[in-house]
């Protein structure tokens, strides 16, 4: 079995581009962020393997439950060995003066409530796992990630990514926490198409958490991930777009269909993105967007239910795009009637991105 990986909101390819093309100052910042990210990958790999194959042993890697849905810590610019840091806001505590703490608290609570109220899921593991967040990780760190047991947020350097943007952006937080849902359900391996599906499900539910918080229907939503977090050296609207993959910012190279699928090796080279997990996720992302628009209404309702059931009950760690297409079409028929409008919309969406469901 190949190892899983910590899932970072900022793809390694973006950092590589800045190392290649950026100013000396940007190159230094990108190298530092990439190096830190490489050092923290293995914890999530171990946690994913244990959760999937030795769930009792996985408990030792998770923070002890305290009966609360969220707690926020300040790691005070420390590194992985300093996590989670000093507790600064527990469940039910009033706001503090640190904006990042309050944003992490609110965002994790909104995501917790989304899964509980929409899908009757008790936290990311389905069993009430406390959502732990640590803010101010490292110095000027340009990323945020789920490490297998908790959320970790850098502050951004103000050049690649806006300072404070990672905790301000709800869909970024929900995206990363959804990696936890995937970890405890399908366990999609972080390589090639299974890894692209892992990223796509996080983008889908990250967007849905934001849409529900804003009360937006599918046709009202902007379908962006990371809107507003981009710094002046990464011009663009956001990190990714489910509506129009490949258009979000300067280095966005996501395809929207299989005709433009990028075949990359999973060889450990950060340029190859674990076989294109952040790149080719644009294809299932666009399929979900098309399905949600075709079904209409609130995307977290019918379209979201189809994708949620597929993730949590139909896929396994090696599932590929074809498996996801087949499963979502089957689930849409089971939930809303074989041959119905919902199933037709889901089938049409996959066909439009170049995959014909069974």
- Residue-wise pLDDT for 142-199, tens only, equals 999 998 889 999 999 999 999 999 999 999 999 999 999 999 999 999 999 999 999 9
Confidence of residue 288 (pLDDT cuts 50, 70, 90): very high
Give CA separation, 216 vs 30, 94, 159, in Å.
35, 29, 31
Residues 104, 118 contacting (CB under 8 angstroms): no
Whether the per-residue pLDDT at 328 is higher than 50: the answer is yes
Q: For the chain, which residues make up each domain, given as ranges?
A: 7-184, 192-352
Active-site residue, 278 included: yes
18 pLDDT more than 50: yes
Return the residue matching tokens 């299932």.
284
Which pLDDT belongs to residue 83?
Answer: 94
Look up 317 and say whether it is catalytic. no
pTM of the model: 0.90
Tell me: pLDDT of 26 over 60.
yes
From 130, 138, 168, 176, the catalytic residue: 176
Which one of 3.30.2310.20, 3.40.50.720, 3.40.50.620, 3.10.170.10 gives the CATH number of domain 7-184? 3.10.170.10
pLDDT score, position 3: 35
| Pairing outcome for strands 144-146 and 7-8 | antiparallel
Find how far residue 192's CA is from the centre of its chain.
Answer: 16
The answer to whether 7-184 and 192-352 have equal CATH topology is no
Of 5, 179, 272, 278, the active-site residue reads: 278
pLDDT at 14: 86
Residue 320: other Cβ atoms inside 10 A: 15
Task: Report whether pLDDT(63) > 80.
Answer: no
Query: Among 20-29, 53-62, 76-85, 286-295, which is the least confidently predicted range?
Result: 53-62
Tell me what pLDDT residue 1 has: 28
pLDDT score of 334 more than 50: yes
Cα separation, 204 vs 289, whole angstroms: 8
Cis peptide before 272 (omega within 30 of 0): no
Q: What is d(CA 249, CA 76) in angstroms, rounded to the nearest whole number? A: 31
Does the pLDDT at position 4 exceed 50? no
pLDDT over 80 at 329, yes or no: yes
215 Cβ neighbours under 8 A, 6+ residues apart? none
Task: Specify the higher pLDDT residue, 21 or 272.
Answer: 272
**Residue 152 in tokens:** 């970790």
Q: pLDDT > 70: what percent of the chain?
A: 90
pLDDT in tens, 70-125: 999 999 999 989 999 999 999 999 999 999 999 999 999 999 999 999 999 999 99
- Give the E-state strand segments of the chain in sequence order: 7-8, 70-74, 86-90, 131-135, 144-146, 151-153, 224-225, 240-241
What is the average pLDDT value for the chain, to the nearest integer? 91
Higher pLDDT, 112 or 45: 112
Q: How high is the pLDDT of residue 65?
A: 53
Q: What is the pLDDT of residue 253?
A: 94
Residue carrying structure tokens 């005070």: 76
At which residue do the structure tokens 């769930």 appear? 55
pLDDT of residue 271: 87
Tell me how far apart the terminal alpha carbons of the chain are, to the nearest angstrom: 28
Give how far Cα 285 sits from Cα of 68, 321, 325, Å.
33, 11, 12
Task: Say what percent of the chain tops pLDDT 90.
Answer: 77
Options 1.10.1660.10, 3.30.43.10, 1.10.390.10, 1.10.357.10; CATH for 192-352 is: 1.10.390.10
């Amino acid at each position: 079995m190949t190892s899983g990986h910590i899932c970072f909101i900022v793809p390694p390819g973006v950092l590589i581009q800045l190392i290649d093309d950026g100013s000396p100052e940007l190159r230094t910042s990108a190298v530092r962020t990439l190096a830190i990210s490489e050092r923290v990958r293995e914890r999530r790999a171990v946690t994913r393997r244990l959760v999937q194959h030795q769930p009792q042993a996985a408990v030792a890697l998770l923070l002890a439950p305290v009966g609360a849905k969220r707690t926020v810590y300040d790691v005070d610019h420390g590194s992985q060995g300093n996590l989670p840091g000093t507790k600064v806001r527990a469940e039910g505590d009033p706001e503090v003066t640190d904006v990042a703490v309050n944003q992490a608290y609110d965002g994790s609570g909104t995501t917790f409530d989304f899964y509980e109220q929409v899908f009757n899921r008790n936290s990311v593991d389905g069993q009430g796992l406390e959502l732990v967040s640590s803010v101010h990780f490292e110095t000027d760190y340009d990323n945020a990630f789920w490490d297998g047991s908790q959320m970790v947020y850098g502050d951004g350097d103000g050049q690649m990514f806006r300072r404070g943007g990672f905790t301000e952006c709800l869909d970024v937080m929900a995206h990363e926490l959804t990696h936890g849902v995937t970890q405890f359900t399908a366990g999609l391996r972080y390589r090639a198409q299974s890894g692209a599906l892992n990223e796509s499900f996080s983008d889908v539910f990250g967007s849905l958490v934001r849409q529900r918080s804003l009360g937006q229907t599918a046709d009202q939503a902007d379908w962006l991930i990371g809107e507003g977090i981009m710094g002046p050296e990464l011009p663009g609207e956001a990190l990714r777009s489910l509506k129009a993959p490949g258009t979000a910012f300067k280095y966005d190279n996501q395809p929207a269909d299989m005709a433009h699928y990028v075949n990359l090796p999973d060889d450990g080279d950060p340029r190859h993105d674990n076989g294109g997990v952040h790149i080719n996720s644009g294809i299932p992302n666009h399929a979900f967007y098309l399905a949600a628009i075709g079904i209409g209404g609130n995307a977290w309702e019918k379209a979201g239910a189809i994708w949620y059931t597929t993730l949590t009950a139909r896929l396994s760690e090696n599932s590929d795009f074809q498996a996801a297409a087949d499963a979502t079409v089957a689930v849409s028929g089971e939930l809303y009637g074989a041959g119905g409008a919902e199933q037709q919309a889901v089938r049409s969406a996959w066909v439009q991105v170049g995959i014909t469901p069974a």
